[in-house]
Structure 1
Amino acid sequence: MKIVFRVDSSLHIGSGHLYRTLTLAKQLAAQNSEVLIYFICRDLYGNSAFLIQQNGFPLLTIPVQEEVCSQIERVWTDEEILYDVEQTRELLLSIGEIDLLIIDHYGLDKRWENEMKTLSRKIMVIDDLANREHACDILLDQNYYTDQQERYNKLVPPTCLKMQGPAYSLLRSEFASIRRNLKKQYGTVKRMFVFFGGSDETNETAKALHAIRLMDELNIQFDVVVGFHNPYKAEIEEMCRQLQNTRFYCQIDYIAELMACADLGLGAGGATTWERSALGLPSVVISTAENQERLSIDCDALGISKYLGRSHEVDAEQILHTIQELINNPERIQSMSEKGMELVDGSGTSRVVKGIFASM
């Protein structure tokens, strides 16, 4: 069985799409030794495609076309779709007969997918925007929304298998194993975990460190994590060095262990929401991209996190005030932890893999 992923990463896009497809790819390969997996990615500035090869999967690249990539998160025009179709088709033909093509990309929609139907037996789409139509056989949206069951009713074919909600969160296997040995959350905050994604283009990490500087007297240990492509990582490392009880980490592979040791998180919305929830880590959240806002609002309403607003609306004083407020309300922290773990059990990737193999 041949499975191909079409996904991009860059300084602007971030690395979330790539990380979650890699998680799925590794689980698919682990469950069936006869599965051959390939990745097709654009060679965008600040991409994390090297992780694909580090994990042993073949990487095929599409040359960058500046006009296509200037606003990569919007749905692409017909001209932009055509270029990508031509480039992708050529790479797919070089691979041979394909059983499943998995797309995780905000720029692509049914126009692109319809062009791929003759090249792949089935098509799967990973999405969380629900803002465009798809011509797919399988849809995965791992996020929580108050209207999640109706979001795609008119956007995918009636026969499409829909896997929706945090029960299908694409989490790495270590989250399930660490979860089994978690310490119970009693609402006391002695250690905090700070992470705003792989690139953190708006430098929310520095904003968080300014807030941390104002709370030195609280005697809390802070673990601050940044990605390899974070353009401010040198600045952030120096800031951490100047703060007491603050440790700096860059591009680590044991992030779940740090989350498990923490009592409160501070970070962005998006896929990390489900990692934190699986480990019962209540969090203060700032949205760093438009697609994170609705998710963050709904998760706040559900009671698994505290949402402060968009990045340009939040300052260090607001972060400080919110953390102090939560520290003084241990019952709320404990409730957030319990609700998060009820929503996400850490086995979502296994459910997705079972659904894929059952549909083939």
Structure 2
Amino acid sequence: MKAVFRCDASIQIGTGHVMRCLTLADALRSEGVESHFICSEHAGHLLELIAQRGYQSYRLPYTDQVQESDEDVLEHASWLGVTQKEDAKSCGEILQLLQPDWLIVDHYALDIFWESAMRSYCQKIMVIDDLADRSHDCDILLDQNYLPSYQTRYEKLISETTIKLLGPSYALLRDEFKELRRLKHNINDRARPQILINFGGIGNFKLLSNVIEAINNIDSFNYYIVTGKIKPAEICELRKSISNPNITMIDYTSEMPKLMTESKYALGASGSTVWERFCLGLNSALVKMASNQSPLLNYLKTNDLVDDLGDYKNLSMASLSLFFANLDLDNEKYLKRKKEIMKLIDGNGTNRVAKVIIEGIKSER
């Protein structure tokens, strides 16, 4: 069985789409499925990481000189770098050679126009989405988000025959989260609880600067900052700005799950990492890093599952200082939240999704 993933990472897009596709590809590989990736060469792409994980990738040249066409009316159309028609032509040539059983698409700039054009090159199509803002031609639709209408919001956007995998029980998490969830971690005995700070794979220098300035004067906690991808000169500037000896800063780690289990609280973005924290019972304060994160953040706040720090553009050093100064991790609300967020995510979502994909092809044979 063969699967091909069409997804991108970039400074603008972030890394989450590629990372969750890699998680699913790993689960499929354990079941004997051969996976390939098709990605554009955006600034900030993850093609080297894909190769390091053992997958063959096909590079699409990137250009920002996009000529608008009738199908490019999507809010995130610019994320593709070309028109859907041009991308479909390039991908079609690759898919014609690979002849996959499954084409798995995780891209906000692609919709039914592109997917329908790919039908003749694969047996089945799966779409991973978060937005429910465009129509799809697919056999499986996966949206792992927890929203007021998550069970119904795709009703007019997909076929009645499409298999819907909706809600956080299908969250695409690596197996290590499920394993670490079972272990007991003695983090409550530490003199200073650890706070994990990370805003995604692509860092934000200004936000990180404000955070460091705020926590330099608050020694109640140990702080572990994972900056994400920022310029080397910016890394140096951030390091020079640290005066609190309880702050540790790195730009990248492959041990984020371990860091989460060692931490008592997290400060981060309202993206896919939310589900990783929830799986491990890690309470958090969330920051909106992109407009499409608003619905999830608002719903989690409404259900009192997270602390909401609002839009990163409006997050000042003064407001961060006030937040950390008043942060009481022994408050009973955090114990209650921990139980509630762990109920939402059990860590088995990736295996559930992989099973549906594999059964979908077996039923055709």
Cα distance change on mapping 1:187 and 1:275 into 2, 3 Å? farther
Greater mean deviation of Cα atoms: 116-125 or 194-203: 194-203
5 Å matches for 1:135-284? 135-183=137-185, 190-201=193-204, 203-216=206-219, 218=220, 220-229=221-230, 232-240=234-242, 242-284=243-285
- What is the rounded CA distance, in whole Å, between the counterparts of 1:9 and 1:318 in structure 2? 31
5 Å matches for 1:30-179? 30=30, 32-33=31-32, 35-68=33-66, 74-75=76-77, 80-95=83-98, 97-179=99-181
Deviations 1:123-168 (A, max 9, x none): 0000001100000110111111011111111111111111111111
Are 2:29 and 2:35, in contact at CA under 8 Å, matched by a contact in 1? yes
- What is the rounded CA distance, in whole Å, between the counterparts of 2:278 and 2:158 in structure 1? 29
Shift in Å, 1:329: 5.7
- What is the rounded CA distance, in whole Å, between the counterparts of 1:16 and 1:212 in structure 2? 27
Q: Which amino acid aligns with 1:291?
A: N
Cα distance change on mapping 1:69 and 1:94 into 2, 3 Å? farther
Cα distance change on mapping 1:28 and 1:238 into 2, 3 Å? farther
- What is the rounded CA distance, in whole Å, between the counterparts of 1:230 and 1:274 in structure 2? 28
The 3-state SS of whatever aligns with 1:108 is coil
Shift in Å, 1:303: 2.1
Cα distance change on mapping 1:239 and 1:355 into 2, 3 Å? farther
Q: Which amino acid aligns with 2:120?
A: T
- What is the rounded CA distance, in whole Å, between the counterparts of 1:333 and 1:313 in structure 2? 25
In structure 2, the partner of 1:348 is 349
Are 2:187 and 2:263, in contact at CA under 8 Å, matched by a contact in 1? no
Are 2:2 and 2:101, in contact at CA under 8 Å, matched by a contact in 1? yes
Are 1:176 and 1:347, in contact at CA under 8 Å, matched by a contact in 2? yes
Greater mean deviation of Cα atoms: 205-214 or 338-347: 205-214
Are 1:187 and 1:332, in contact at CA under 8 Å, matched by a contact in 2? no
The 3-state SS of whatever aligns with 1:327 is coil
- What is the rounded CA distance, in whole Å, between the counterparts of 1:118 and 1:194 in structure 2? 45
- What is the rounded CA distance, in whole Å, between the counterparts of 1:260 and 1:358 in structure 2? 34
In structure 2, the partner of 1:29 is 29
- What is the rounded CA distance, in whole Å, between the counterparts of 1:203 and 1:351 in structure 2? 39
Shift in Å, 1:200: 2.5
Cα distance change on mapping 1:237 and 1:168 into 2, 3 Å? farther
Shift in Å, 1:328: 6.5
- What is the rounded CA distance, in whole Å, between the counterparts of 2:130 and 2:149 in structure 1? 12
Greater mean deviation of Cα atoms: 258-267 or 227-236: 227-236
Cα distance change on mapping 1:281 and 1:120 into 2, 3 Å? same
Cα distance change on mapping 1:229 and 1:69 into 2, 3 Å? farther
Shift in Å, 1:37: 0.7
Cα distance change on mapping 1:320 and 1:345 into 2, 3 Å? farther
Give every structure 1 segment of 4 or more consecutive aligned residues whose post-TM-superposition deviation is greater than 6 Å. 69-73, 184-189
The 3-state SS of whatever aligns with 1:224 is strand
- What is the rounded CA distance, in whole Å, between the counterparts of 2:206 and 2:159 in structure 1? 40
Shift in Å, 1:202: 6.1
5+ residue gaps in structure 1?
Answer: none
In structure 2, the partner of 1:337 is 338
The 3-state SS of whatever aligns with 1:139 is strand
The 3-state SS of whatever aligns with 1:132 is coil
- What is the rounded CA distance, in whole Å, between the counterparts of 1:325 and 1:166 in structure 2? 31
RMSD: 2.4
- What is the rounded CA distance, in whole Å, between the counterparts of 1:270 and 1:45 in structure 2? 20
5 Å matches for 1:10-29? 10-29=10-29
Aligned length: 354
Shift in Å, 1:355: 1.6
TM-score, normalized by length of structure 1?
0.92
Cα distance change on mapping 1:105 and 1:73 into 2, 3 Å? farther
In structure 2, the partner of 1:8 is 8
Cα distance change on mapping 1:182 and 1:226 into 2, 3 Å? farther
Q: Which amino acid aligns with 1:88?
A: C
Deviations 1:158-205 (A, max 9, x none): 111111111111111111111101337879971100000011246422
Shift in Å, 1:236: 2.9
Are 2:173 and 2:276, in contact at CA under 8 Å, matched by a contact in 1? yes
- What is the rounded CA distance, in whole Å, between the counterparts of 1:271 and 1:19 in structure 2? 9
Deviations 1:297-319 (A, max 9, x none): 11112222111211112212222
